[in-house]
Amino acid sequence: MAKRNAGLRFQPAGGSRAPQIPTGKKQRLTIERLANDGRGIAFLEGRTWFVVGALAGEEIEARVLNAHAKVVEARVERIFQASAMRRPAPCPHAGTCGGCSVQHLAHADQLALKQRMLAEQLARVAGIEPQEWAAPLVGPEFGYRRRARVAVRWDAKAKKLDVGFRAAASQDIVGIDDCMVLVQPLRPIMQQLPAMLRRFSKPQVLGHVELFSGTSLAVLVRHTAPLADADRRVLEAFCDEHSAQLWLHGEGEPQPADPDQALGFALEPWRLELAYRPGDFVQVNAAVNTAMIAQALEWLAPKADERVLDLFCGLGNFALPLAQQAREVVAVEGVATMVQRAAANAASNNLHNIQFFHTDLSQPLLASGWAAQGFSAVLLDPPRDGAFEVVRKISTLGAKRLVYVSCNPATLARDAVELLRQGYRLKRAGILDMFPQTAHVEAMALFEAS
């Protein structure tokens, strides 16, 4: 083995490395435009800066949160020249809490940003725009969130319990005892939650707390070790005071403290009630969820003699309303426990024209026996990574109409390329404002066979 020469110094190809920017450094910047996540973009000395809380055209001072070779993540500290679009953030935690990143934009401007993000993705990736843009589906600007996960962490050094939400671009917890986007029934619980948890004799065992408002209020407590008897009594008294169910999540699945408790959510226009357990996926915005289902039914227009396919069916959010209009619904989900719960929801609502199947939806559909008979229409509501394998040969199912509900415009646009290749055209598209005060974009698109 050759002897190492300690005196040699090697330089990376391409010249000297730019000096690292330390966390906490402040920098004056001119914001050029907005990124797709609502952060301001600036360019300085070969680096791209993404700044939380900044708007296009502004002169600001930013504080560095994270820095990489060519990308710097930062947040606004001072504004020297404000955009005409800026408004005072309604929440005192804006800029530190990572939950609501665009409160400094008026709601109408938030909707315009989301519309632009969807249009740009469809144009850039798929080279298309819909024949018709649908109006945004909107609900309340605040007080919309019926489910929330509250971060809890014991600080052993400081001997204190942190309760709140994650900070922007950080694992730090911002102490919060009120949240403007929670539905009103959850706000008193949130306001008194930190003080209650700090009464625990063993706060070290706490993981997180989940709040839910549906047919009943519910408080789930994740714990990493058995709760002390005294601490459990504190929890039970707190939930009694707020008329909320107590759910505990230790080993295994979350369990209700009272096994006889029932928890769920209503789809009122269709007189449906779906059972729900903390940890299940549910749309957090009940008003927009209702409008979304109604629009999907209108666009898909299932007829009484048609067979309809619902992919990524979850608890039956779309499948059950569809079953009230179509002859038969086949509902497919990749998570086995969701299939079981969705089937139970159909039975409890006296809907017997739905078949539920557990299928790996990351694979093509043609090998599935339930696909052989074909469908008149298809609805799919995939996760953020989209439904690429599902849509690759979806035209072989024979569906003339397809409604795609998306929580990521980038994967919607990618999958649209496949649908266009198979002879579908993009008839209609629009945004769903499921998460006001954030830059998160949900969308719905109607494809029709040519």
Task: Return the CATH number at 42.
Answer: 2.40.50.140
Q: Residue 320 is inside which H or E element, if any?
A: helix 319-323
Same domain, 170 and 307: no
Predicted local confidence at residue 12, as pLDDT: 45
DSSP string, 354-389: EEEEE--TTS-STT-GGGTT--SEEEE---TT--HH
Domain end marker among 70, 86, 102: 86
Same domain, 322 and 417: yes
Tell whether 19 is covered by a domain: no
Same domain, 46 and 190: no
Same domain, 324 and 406: yes
Predicted local confidence at residue 17, as pLDDT: 60
Same domain, 310 and 400: yes
Q: What is the pLDDT of residues 301-356, one digit of tens each?
A: 999 999 999 999 999 999 999 999 999 999 999 999 999 999 999 999 999 999 99
Same domain, 296 and 443: yes
Tell whether 261 is covered by a domain: no
Same domain, 323 and 386: yes
Same domain, 136 and 163: no
- Percent of the chain past pLDDT 70, that is, above it, reads 95
Predicted local confidence at residue 2, as pLDDT: 42
Tell whether 182 is covered by a domain: yes
- Top pLDDT among 31 and 66 is at 31
Tell whether 67 is covered by a domain: yes
Predicted local confidence at residue 18, as pLDDT: 61
Question: 155: which strand partners?
Answer: 160
Q: What is the pLDDT of residues 103-132, one digit of tens each?
A: 999 999 999 999 999 999 999 999 999 999
Tell whether 278 is covered by a domain: no
- pLDDT of 201 higher than 70: yes
Task: Return the CATH number at 191.
Answer: 2.40.50.1070
Enclosing domain of residue 43: 26-86
405 and 381 in contact (C-beta within 8 Å)? yes
Which amino acids are annotated catalytic? Answer: 407
The total of other beta-carbon atoms located within 10 Å of residue 348's CB is 15
Q: What is the pLDDT of residues 345-404, one digit of tens each?
A: 999 999 999 999 999 888 877 667 888 889 999 999 999 999 999 999 899 999 999 999
Tell whether 200 is covered by a domain: yes
Predicted local confidence at residue 367, as pLDDT: 66
Sign of CA dihedral 191, 194, 196, 197: positive
Tell whether 272 is covered by a domain: no
Same domain, 214 and 298: no
265 and 290 in contact (C-beta within 8 Å)? no
Tell whether 4 is covered by a domain: no
Same domain, 135 and 172: no
Same domain, 62 and 166: no
Q: What is the pLDDT of residues 3-30, one digit of tens each?
A: 444 443 334 444 456 678 899 999 999 9
24 and 64 in contact (C-beta within 8 Å)? yes
Same domain, 181 and 228: yes
Region 45-65: mean pLDDT is: 94
Q: How many structural domains comprise the chain?
A: 3
Nearest to 24 by CA among 54, 58, 62: 62
Domain end marker among 219, 241, 256: 256
Residues in CB range of 58: below 8 A, 6 or more apart? 30, 31, 40, 79, 80, 81, 82, 83, 86
pTM, to two decimals: 0.91
